[in-house]
Amino acid sequence: MTLESAGPGGGAGDVAEGAGREGHGAKDSRGRLARLRDALLTGREDPAALGLLRIGLVAVFTASLLSHVGAVAEYFSAASPLAGQYARQAFPTRWSLFFMIDDPLAVQAIFAAGVVAHLLWLVGLFTRPAALFSALVWVSMVGRNPLLYAMPDQLHSALIVWLALMPTGRGLSLDARWRGKGGPVPVWCRRIVHLQLAVMYTSTGLAKHGATWKSEGTAIYFSLVSPYNRHFDLTRALAMLQPYVLRPITWLVLAWEVGFSGFVLAHWLRERWRKIPDMRWLFLGFGVAMHVGIQMMMYVEWFTPMTLASYLAFLRPDEVRRLVRRFSRQ
Amino acid sequence: MAGLRDRLSTAWNTLLPLALALLIVGPSLPNAALGEVPSTLAQWQKKISVVQTWNMYAPDPTRAHTYLAVYAEFQDGRREALVEAEQAQSGWGTTWAWRKTRVDIWRYYAVLNPDKPNNNRLWYLRSLCVREALAREEPPRKIVAERVRRRFTPPDRVLAGKPGLGPVDRKPLATVDCKTWPVRDMLADARARHG
């Protein structure tokens, strides 16, 4: 595998043989399987895209982590009303560092170290150990009492573990700039995030087989009127909008969720066959509008920032380089 | 040496993403076709709190909301409404992130499946025995929970003039005796820890 201009920071010209668009024109004498493997997994790309994804996601992870400040001992230590052997008994399927270390001060110290690790991961300094420790702390928090966490945190848990296993510090990082740890990254990294989003959306869409999503088309109405998480009481206005606006949107959301896997597959195939249209603006644009709408109307923890940050995985390295250049000019 | 490193790197960058893809997709695959494989993959991931069950607002969003209202009963027969009961009283308007705590999520799980045994509820109510005993001089004898539920009015009936939320429906949910095992031992442990 050869790389053009693969400097320590991973230049804009880093290309992958057989790894998509950039690989065209290079004569590759290897077997079809090796070419396919490179195109899907082991081919290299400029690290800027993965670097930007790291910055976006870790910023949200850090914000979510910081929202626990003030309640760390109460949630995760011996100061909790459910502590010690009884906590282990209540959650026998989970692992947590805080089952073993439960002194309130020690738990708070580990949490503080977790915050520092998140910040190091965010700027990409000592990225690998910082990432692994960040994931360890988050997994320990959720494992210590999983009932404090909901579906949006589930995406956080999955993404933090997958991202910690990726070489996220090779681009747009202090490791690349100061420590000479830059360089290209394998193409599978961003694809794992694509796959996670595809499984999340499509599984959810397929599970929505009730009448409110299908014949009635009232699912969005009922979601928005719940006093558990609504920001505004707009019941009457929503009832008026139901037949003309909310019902079509309900069906559109369902179709979009089920179709997201198809979009991801088309996006991957497009790297080989450029005749497939680029549907990112359509699919991700709809996703952005939907999640921003949800965030405005109701409380959904960190779900909107988390999903929007994960959409950065769909930006190509050359697009990220352009963005970075534009940003650095300003 | 460089050739060996390249080969190892290629192997790592092939096997790791394939394993991750299996962990992401595997639990969603049908058990009928693959035997125990999907549930085994799900159990492995659950150990580190990675769960691949995605069913937000599925199969339907809820058409009602239920709060957990909790009361402490004391030796002298006195009954005191706890913070959960106050929430069930006043939580029918609107909310914002800064009014929520993570314990609200546990309360939400605790009130699910009201007619079936629910361990999440049991441990929540047991922990309330501890919380309340530590917060006051006289520990409660019992923790009594009820569910407080209001239905959401369908849009056509709202347009016909009905209020957005139906009447309050209260039903007994569970009672935990704070003097029985394991609550008694949980309390003794907590008191020892808190001095």
Tokens of A72: 């760390």
CB-CB neighbors (< 8 A) of A238 in chain B? 155
CA distance B50 to B48: 6
Q: What is the mean pLDDT of residues B24-46?
A: 88
Task: Considering only the beta carbons, identify the residue of A147, A162, A235 that sits closest to B109.
Answer: A147
Cβ–Cβ of A86/B189 closer than 8 Å?
yes
Please state the ipTM of this predicted complex: 0.94
Tokens of B80: 């005191």
Cβ–Cβ of A93/B43 closer than 8 Å?
yes
pLDDT of residue A16: 42
B36 or A269: whose pLDDT is higher? A269
Segment A152-162, tens digit of pLDDT: 999 999 999 99
Measure the CA dihedral A109/A112/A118/A122, to 10°. Answer: -140
- Annotate A210-278 with DSSP letters as a single string: STTTTTS--HHHHHHT-TTTBSS--HHHHHHHIIIIIHHHHHHHHHHHHHHHHHHHHHHHHTT-TTS--
Segment A275-297, tens digit of pLDDT: 999 999 999 999 999 999 999 99
Task: Considering only the beta carbons, identify the residue of B21, B124, B155 that sits closest to A238.
Answer: B155
pTM, two decimals, is: 0.92
Question: Which pLDDT band, with edges at 50, 70 and 90, does A20 fall under?
Answer: very low
pLDDT of residue A9: 37
pLDDT of residue A28: 67
User: How far away is chain B from the Cα of A202, in angstroms, using its nearest Cα?
Assistant: 9
Task: Considering only the beta carbons, identify the residue of B51, B61, B62 that sits closest to A154.
Answer: B51
Q: For chain B, what percent of residues have pLDDT higher than 90? A: 86
CA distance B72 to A263: 54
